[in-house]
Amino acid sequence: MHKHEGSDDPEGRRLIVSILRSLDIRSLLDVGSATGSGLKEFAAEFPGALVCGVEPVAALVQQGVAAGNTQTVLLLQGSGDALPFADGCFDVVSEFSILHHVPHPSAVVREMVRVARRAVVIMDSNRFAQGSWPARLLKLFLYKIGLWNTFNLVRTRGKRYQISQGDGLFYSYSVYDSYDIVERWADRIYLLSNGPPRSRSWFHPLLTSEGVILIAIRDARENGNHP
């Protein structure tokens, strides 16, 4: 159901590529690559760079190989919360709309930060811009006072996840949940709207964009490793 997750937003990807081009990109790792169709686009944008994807579902990896998606890129079976790579191994580590499908997104983000050398890209959902304005403000208030997880556990009757026809099994997630982890690693962070905002506000994109792109950049360091 999610084999095309995160790969159908060309505007967002073009925006990300335009920022990454300012860096000396020689390697890129994408977490949750499904069949790897999106990896070919990155390989075309950064010719000569090593482009690799990690996907936990064996059937999707097999589909990608059968479709010829791995002719110019690598697609490995592996879990995002235990990436089989050394620290600072890739210039860029990215994910596209997979964090709201995992029960512990912070574990995945910590691994992304660990293996990244220059940039981390998170393009995912933002619960704080979903629903009416009172609902958005209530979610933000509960989150700030540390009661959001308890409230979410009660409203999902202990499951923590929900199931929808369009998105399958998903958890309540916002890119801002991962901000503190990335902020400790990065020198610069860009937060951009993914798609048109629902309303104009000084709180944009926190309370106005249901999808947010986070691009964290770390200044070049001499001790980075390359695969």
- Are the C-beta atoms of residues 94 and 27 closer than 8 Å to each other? no
Q: Which of 176, 26, 36, 209 is nearest to 109 (CA)?
A: 176
> Is residue 4 pLDDT above 70, yes or no?
no
User: What is the predicted pLDDT for the residue at 197?
Assistant: 72
pLDDT, one tens digit per residue, over 120-151 is 999 999 999 999 999 999 999 999 999 999 99
All structural domains of the chain:
10-217 (3.40.50.150)
What percentage of residues in the chain have a pLDDT greater than 90? 82
Top-confidence residue, 182 or 201: 182
pLDDT, one tens digit per residue, over 89-114 is 999 999 999 999 999 999 999 999 99
> Is residue 164 pLDDT above 70, yes or no?
yes
| DSSP-H helix ranges across the chain | 10-20, 37-45, 58-66, 105-115, 133-144, 148-155, 179-183
* pLDDT (mean) for 174-188: 97
* pLDDT (mean) for 2-20: 72
pTM of the model: 0.91
User: What is the predicted pLDDT for the residue at 115?
Assistant: 98
Radius of gyration (C-alpha) of the chain in whole angstroms: 17
> Is residue 227 pLDDT above 60, yes or no?
no
Per-residue confidence at 6, pLDDT binned at 50, 70, 90? very low
